[in-house]
Amino acid sequence: MAQLQAELLATKLATYRYRDAGPQAPQQLGFIIDDQPDSPRSTRGATWWICTAT
Decide: 14 and 32 in contact? Cβ < 8 Å: yes
Residue-wise pLDDT tens digits, 16-33 = 888 888 889 999 888 887
Mean pLDDT of 44-51: 52
Residue 42 C-beta-side C-alpha neighbours within 13 Å: 13
* DSSP per residue, the chain: -HHHHHHHHHPPPEEE--GGG-TTSPPEEE--GGG-TTSGGG-TT------B--
Confidence (pLDDT) at 26: 92
- Given the DSSP bridges, would you call strands 28-30 and 14-16 parallel, antiparallel or unpaired? antiparallel
Mean pLDDT of 6-18: 86
Give dist(CA 45, CA 14) in Å, integer. Answer: 22
Q: How confident is the model at residue 41 (pLDDT cuts 50, 70, 90)?
A: low
